[in-house]
Chains A and B, each alone.
Chain A
Amino acid sequence: MTRGRRGGRAATAMAGSAALLAVAACGNGEADEAGESTGGDVHLVLETFGTFGYDELISRFEEETGYTVDHRVTGEHPDYAEALEQNIAAGSGAGDVVALEEAHMAKMLEQGDAFHDLYDYGAGEMEEHFLDWKWELGHSSDGRLIGLGTDVGSLAICYRWDLFEEAGLPTDRDELTETWQTWEDFLEVGLEFRDAGMDEAFVDDVGQFYTAITRQAGDAIYLNRDDELIMDSNPVVKEAFDYAARLAEEDLTAALDTFSDDWNAGIQAGTFATMTCPAWMLGQVEESAGDAGEGLWDVAGVPGEGGNWGGSWLAVPTQSEHPEEAAELAKFLTSTEGHLGAWEEASNLPSSVETLEMDEVQGWTREYFNDAPTGEIFAEGALDLQPYYMGSGHVGVHEAVGAYIDDMQRGEIDPEQAWQDALAEAERAVR
C-alpha cells in the first residue's frame, strides 16, 4: 500500500491519530513472550498500514507452516511510519515483518543495520520475478537486500467524463490517452476545457502533477546517489515546477491541497475535472465521491512516460527473534502467489512481472469508474516504469517544495519567488 497522504490526517485525525504525538499501534513484547512461552511454536507479528490485502494469504501461510501470524494494521501511513521509527529507535517493539513505504524506504535503507539482509535467507532467487527497479530499490547502498517489493503505484489520469462531455471534449478513455501523449497536450486539453466556459477547474492540485512529472524522471529527483542536493541542476525538477506554474497561471487549477478537507469536499462536489491517479488513488476517489459519483469518473493513461508513485516493501527488523520464519513470511507474501492474492483482495498492483501479466490482473475492470479496464491500464504502466533514486532526504525536500507550489497555485507567491524559497528550504532540510 502506498500513500504519501500528507494531509490526510486532519480529515482523518481520529481519536488518537498520531497526528498528535505520533505514535501508532505497534507491536510489543508480548509477541516475543508468546513465542517463547509456547516453546517450539513460532508466533510472528506482521505490521502493515492501509490495506495490503493479506488476510487470505496469512491464513494460507499459517496453514502451510503451522506458525501463527498476528497482523497489525495501522490506518494512516504517517502514524505507521512514526511508530515504526520509534520502535526501531527504542530497540524493541517492531514486528517480525514490517512494511516500508516508498518515501520512507530511503530513510530506512540508511539504517540498514536495523534490518536483516534477506540474501542470507535465500531471497536472492526471487530476483527474476520482480520488476527490475523494484528489486533494485530494495537494496541498501552496501548491497544488502533489505526489502522485498509488494505493490507499485503506476500512474494514470482520473477524469470526470460528464464534465468533458459538457465542455465538448472527447470522453472516451482510449481517445484521451491518445490525445494527451505529452504533458503539453494535456495542457492544451485543459485550455480547451477552460475556454468552453466551464465553472469547474481542470485539475485539482498542481502539486500532484508536479509530483507525477518528477516521478517520470528516471534516475534521480532531488538527491543524487551520494545524497547531494541536485534539485537545482536536475532539469526534470525545474521542468515539472514550471509546468505546475503554467497550470496555475492559466487558471486551470482548483488549488486544493491534496488530502485536505477541502480537497475531499471538492471531489464530492465535483469542482474539478481531472486528477492524477496512482493505482492506489482509486479507492480514495471512490470514497470521497461517494455513491453520487459512481459512473461519472473514468480512467485514462497518463501523459509522458509511465511513472510510479508509491508502493512498498517488506523487511525483517534485526529485533525479530524469529528472523528465519519472518523471512519465510516475507518471501511468501511477495511471491507470485502472494502478489496475486493481494491483487485479488485489495487491488494492489503487483511488482511481480509474472503476476502483472496474468489474466486476473490484465482483465480486471472497475465498475465504479465506468467499467474502466483499470487492470490493463495500470499493469501496462507498471511494466513501463523507470526506476528512480530518492535518498533519505527526499521527503523533507518534497514537503518543502510542495508547500511553495501550493502557495503558488493559491496566488500567494509568484513562481520565481516560490522556486527560490523552495530551493532555500530544501537546502536547509538536507543540511
Chain B
Amino acid sequence: MKIVKGAGTVPDREPPVPGDAPAGEPRQERRTRWQSLRGRFDRRFSPYLFIAPYFLLFGIFGVFPMLFTFWVSLHDWSFIGGKAGFAGLDNYAFLVTDAKFWNALLNTLGIFVVAIVPQLLIALFLADTLNRQLRWRGFFRMGVILPYVTSIAAMAIVFGQLFGRDFGLINLSLESFGLDGIDWRSNRLASWVAIAVMIDWRWLGFNTLIYLAAMQAIPRDLYESAAIDGASRLRQFWQITVPMVRPTIMFTVIIATIGQMQLFTEPVIFSADYRGGNQNQFQTVAMLMFEEARQLDNFGYGAAISWIIFVLIVIFAVINVLFISRIRSAT
C-alpha cells in the first residue's frame, strides 16, 4: 500500500542518548534499551495523551454548566431572581404529570420520524450518487452543502414565505390548482411536515458530505467485481456501500438523535415564539424547556427538563443503535 511510503524507511530521529548512561556499555545496546523503555512508555501513555485535550476542555467548560444546571433543577429557581428554595425532586415529579411535557415529547419524536428517517436515507443515496462517475461532480458536491452556509435569517424568511397561510407560495400554488390551502401552523401533521422540510433542507447536505467522506475508504474494485458479477446498482448500494460505511451510519444516527431531541431552531423560526402553535401542536421539548426557564421564569423546571432531555437522548440513541444493528443482521 502506497500510503505506508516512508513509514518504514524514515528512521526515528531521536535525540542522542543522554550522557549519564552507564559508561562502558556499548552505545548500540544503550540505545536499544532506552528505545524500548521509551516505546513502552509511548504505548502505554500516548493514547491517554491523545484523548486528553477533549477531557481537559470538557473538565473546564463542560462540568460546571452541567453541575450548575443540575443544582438549579433541584430548586425553585427564578431565572433572574435566583434561588427561592430547595425543591428536591419536585420539578422532576411535576414533569411526569405535566401534560405539556408529554405533548412536547410526542411532537419531538413525531418530527424525528417525519424528518430524520427520509433525510438519512436520501443522504446515503445522494452520497452514493455523488461518489460515482458524474459530470460536474465537484459542482454538485459543493451544491449540497449550500444550505449549511446560508444564514438562518434567509432561511427563516424564505420558509416563512413558503408556508404562509394566506399568502404563502405553497398555498398560492395549491389554490391556483383549485385546491384548498393548508393552515400549516394549525394542523399538527402539516406543521410537522413543514418543520421536517426545513430540517432536511438544512441538514441533508451535511450528512451527505459525511457519508461521501466515508465512501472514499471503500475500495473501488469491490464495485468493479460486483459489476462484473452483474449486480445492479441498487444491489451494490445495499451490499457494498451500506455495510462498508456502517460505522459512519451509526455516527450520523447518533448525531441526528442528539440534534433532534434538542430540536429548537427550526420550529422556533416556524413558530416565531416558543409556544409552537396555539395549542402547542409542534412545541418540542427544548422549546418547552426554554419557555419555562425564560418566559415563565421557572428556571428550576427548565433545568429539570434539560436533564430529562439528556436521559431521553441516551435512551433513544441506544434504541436507534440497536435498531440499526438489527437491520444489518437481517440483510
Q: Are B166 and A395 in contact (CB under 8 A)?
A: no
Q: Are B152 and A15 in contact (CB under 8 A)?
A: yes
0/1 interface trace, chain B 71-86, chain A, CB 8 Å (1 if under): 0000000111110000
Residues of A within 8 A of B183 (CB): 410
Question: When chains A and B are docked, how far (Å) is the Cα of A14 from the Cα of B160?
Answer: 12
0/1 interface trace, chain A 1-37, chain B, CB 8 Å (1 if under): 0000011111101111101111000000000000000
From A429, which residue of chain B is reached at the shortest CB distance?
A: B296
A266 at the interface (CB under 8 A from B): yes
What are 28 residue pairs bridging A and B, where the CB atoms are less than 8 Å apart in the complex? A7-B273, A10-B156, A13-B272, A14-B156, A15-B153, A20-B268, A21-B264, A82-B294, A85-B80, A85-B294, A88-B80, A89-B82, A256-B166, A261-B160, A261-B168, A262-B166, A265-B164, A265-B166, A396-B296, A399-B275, A399-B295, A403-B275, A403-B278, A404-B279, A407-B186, A410-B183, A410-B186, A412-B278
Q: Are B270 and A269 in contact (CB under 8 A)?
A: no
Check A428/B290 contact, CB under 8 A, given A10-B270, A17-B156, A392-B297.
no
Q: Are B272 and A19 in contact (CB under 8 A)?
A: yes
B269 at the interface (CB under 8 A from A): yes
Q: Are A261 and B167 in contact (CB under 8 A)?
A: yes
- The distance from the CB of B293 to the nearest CB of chain A, in whole angstroms, is 10
Residues of B within 8 A of A11 (CB): 157, 160, 272
Residues of A within 8 A of B152 (CB): 13, 15-17, 20
0/1 interface trace, chain A 392-431, chain B, CB 8 Å (1 if under): 1101100100011011001011000000010000001100
Question: When chains A and B are docked, how far (Å) is the Cα of A395 from the Cα of B78?
Answer: 15
Residues of B within 8 A of A108 (CB): 80
Question: When chains A and B are docked, how far (Å) is the Cα of A6 from the Cα of B295?
Answer: 12
Question: When chains A and B are docked, how far (Å) is the Cα of A393 from the Cα of B297?
Answer: 9
- The distance from the CB of A168 to the nearest CB of chain B, in whole angstroms, is 26
Q: Are B81 and A262 in contact (CB under 8 A)?
A: no
B271 at the interface (CB under 8 A from A): yes
Question: When chains A and B are docked, how far (Å) is the Cα of A189 from the Cα of B297?
Answer: 42
Looking at chain A's contact residues, is the secondary structure mostly helix, strand, loop, or mixed? helix
Question: When chains A and B are docked, how far (Å) is the Cα of A27 from the Cα of B22?
Answer: 65
Q: Are A7 and B272 in contact (CB under 8 A)?
A: yes
Q: Are A13 and B295 in contact (CB under 8 A)?
A: no
**A interface with B by C-beta (< 8 Å):** 6-11, 13-17, 19-22, 82, 85, 88-89, 107-108, 110-111, 114, 256, 259-262, 265-266, 269, 271, 392-393, 395-396, 399, 403-404, 406-407, 410, 412-413, 421, 428-429
Question: When chains A and B are docked, how far (Å) is the Cα of A411 from the Cα of B183?
Answer: 12
Question: When chains A and B are docked, how far (Å) is the Cα of A108 from the Cα of B161?
Answer: 36
From B296, which residue of chain A is reached at the shortest CB distance?
A: A396
- The distance from the CB of A152 to the nearest CB of chain B, in whole angstroms, is 24
Q: Which of A13, A265, A406: most chain B Cβ within 10 A?
A: A13
B216-272 at interface with A (beta carbon < 8 Å): 264-265, 268-272
Question: When chains A and B are docked, how far (Å) is the Cα of A89 from the Cα of B297?
Answer: 11
Check A262/B167 contact, CB under 8 A, given A85-B79, A88-B80, A410-B186.
yes
B100 at the interface (CB under 8 A from A): yes
- The distance from the CB of A75 to the nearest CB of chain B, in whole angstroms, is 12
